Chains A and B, each alone.
Chain A
Amino acid sequence: MSQVQDYSPSAKDAGTAEDTVWEQKVHFIDSVPRWIAMTFVFVVFVGTWQIVTSLGLVSPIILPTPMETLRDMIFVGQNLLTGGYMLGALWITFKEVVYGFALAIAIGFSLGVLVGETAFGEKAVMPYLVAIDTMPKVAFAPLFVAWLGFGIESKVALAAFIATFPIVVGTAAGLHAADENARMLFKTMGASRMQTLIKMKLPTGLPQIFTGLKIGAVGVMAGAITGEFLGGGKGFGELIRVAASQLNTPRVFSLILYLSLVGLAVFASVVWTQRKLVFWHKEQVGRDDF
């Protein structure tokens, strides 16, 4: 790679500006398309995996070979596509995740506005939220089962419970993000409190709110699966638990991979919404645009 500043001596000696070439330094990684870089990492990962298993460094019960896992993934995939029992299980887990997330957004956003916008909320409610947030929320799973039974409700509750707090924190932080000038400007324009909230504070805080939503989107998946582990249920978590108890590790692996697609879909939908709504935020600007 030829690169960097080429202040050729001849140009300097002659004192002419035209000969001075300032080539912009291009890092190697910037010239590689993303998918190639990602494929590279994937190949290294699977290669290492293959070597470790084929050398017999670990027992196949602990770590199946990539081939075994792939074979099982194809089997699970077929079951899902043909509408087998696994599709039913995936559907249940998907519902738990979506309901849980919707509930977390509704509660988290409302509490976030209460805490971020009102002095009462900040003074009287926030300390309790912080206190609850520091508790290990998974420990509440048995309680939810006792209250709501072994059905989908207790899983939805745990998923929502875990995802609510980051959304509260994100919303409250977002509402504090507006600067002094913007607040004064809205005051001089005679804006009501509601107008200030909707037309200025909320849009200003969207980046923080979405950060909260993204953390929540990750937590909601963990909540649903933990709920299934601890409280029965008929979703994917249960399939994983059963497969693991039968020492069917390839199945556990492929189930987790399919499950991660659901998580990815939820996360991607949040990112997509953010791109649409927060198109103006600096974070959205590409690397080269500085």
Chain B
Amino acid sequence: MNAEVTHEFSGAPLGTPVYELTHVSKTYARNLVVALEDINLTLRKGSFTSVIGSSGCGKSTLLKIMAGLIPPTKGRVILQGKPVTGTRRDIGMMFQQATLFPWKTAVENIVLPIEIRDGKAAAKQAMAKAHQLLDIVGLNGFENVYPNELSGGMAQRASICRMLITEPAVLLLDEPFSALDELSRDMMNMELQRICREQEATAFLVTHSIQEAVILSNEIVVLKPRPGRIAEIVEVDLPRPRTLDMMTTPKFGAIVDYIRSLLDKGEEM
């Protein structure tokens, strides 16, 4: 079966390849689950790519392999010309859980990557920037609050700031907004888009929301489960930057419907 049919909604010109995955497979040794099979994927500089697929089809696994957290069983991952053999500092990652440390205030949590990379003094200097980021995600006034006092959505927003503080070239996002209500989710998505454009970051987003994937992405990787394979890579040629009112256009609706049909097909198999 051909796993790489690319359904063209007409392509858009993009930058040089940042990530190149060739024949990436992953079998978990512990339970012999084939989580991923023969994934081939290229992310170009400044692009925004989403991965969508049913629960357990290997999305988080793919993200962890790209981040260098776990090795693939087969295949190669190349980032900015160099093979990924472990975690790297040009990658910013956000997990499904916010994972803030309860003994640090919001702002101390956010400067933690700086503290680890450059020490305490540098972290102090980064405080101002952390405040700016908190402002952007709508958490001004919560700088010195401990995570226990933040709601799930607020904690996720703080952890986005933590990812952004090092200005990574690549953002790997595992359902970053799953704890947010729809309204703030849309707002955060627009903010995310703005930040990515500003920093020319390449983003790779795992999501369960088709709308979210379509409104943000240049390309949507649709995975089908057991084992996780690429069903299709769908290009989204809505003009950039995206705005929320594009969600009401017929084209948006058409792409959403098309992806839904792909996912339904995946479920039948």
Contact = CB atoms under 8 A, between A and B. Distances in A.
A187 B69 contact: yes
B202 to A, nearest CB: 16
Question: 9 nearest interchain CB pairs?
Answer: A280-B102, A181-B99, A188-B93, A189-B113, A187-B87, A191-B116, A280-B103, A189-B116, A190-B89
A38 B93 CA distance: 52
A188 B91 contact: yes
Contacts of B96: 181
Given A185-B99, A199-B112, 4 more contacts: A181-B97, A190-B89, A191-B116, A199-B115
Contacts of B88: 190
B87 A182 contact: no
Contacts of A190: 87-89, 116-117
Contact of B146 (A186, A187, A203, A280): A280
Nearest to A186: B116
Given A184-B95, A188-B69, A188-B93, A203 B116 contact: no
A203 B97 contact: no
B148 interface: yes
Contacts, number: 51
B19 to A, nearest CB: 15
Nearest to A182: B99
Contacts of B39: none
B197 interface: no
A281 interface: yes
Interface in A195-222: 195, 199-200, 203-204
A182 B159 CA distance: 12
Interface residues of B, number: 23
5 contacts: A184-B93, A188-B69, A199-B112, A200-B101, A281-B102
B87 A185 contact: no
A203 B103 contact: yes
A46 to B, nearest CB: 42
B69 A199 contact: no
Interface residue tally on A, bucketed by range: 20 to 34
B64 A280 contact: no
A282 B91 CA distance: 33
A150 B112 CA distance: 53
Contact of A184 (B69, B92, B102, B103): B69
B259 interface: no
A203 B101 CA distance: 9
Nearest to B166: A189
Contacts of A281: 102
B159 to A, nearest CB: 9
Contacts of A189: 87, 112-113, 116-117
A4 B103 CA distance: 38
Contacts of B93: 184-185, 188
Interface string B52-72: 000000000000100101000
B67 A188 contact: yes
Interface in B68-117: 69, 87-89, 91-93, 95-97, 99, 101-103, 112-113, 115-117
Nearest to A278: B103
Nearest to A279: B103
Nearest to B168: A188
A191 B116 CA distance: 6
Contacts of A184: 64, 69, 93, 95
A252 B141 CA distance: 60
Contacts of A182: 99, 101
A184 B92 CA distance: 12
A204 B104 CA distance: 11
A253 B89 CA distance: 65
Interface string A253-290: 00000000000000000000000001111100100000
B107 to A, nearest CB: 15
A285 B115 CA distance: 29
Given A195-B116, A280-B146, A280-B148, A188 B87 contact: yes
A256 B96 CA distance: 55
A177 to B, nearest CB: 12
Contacts of A186: 116
A235 B89 CA distance: 59
Contacts of B113: 189
Contacts of A204: 101
A187 B93 CA distance: 10
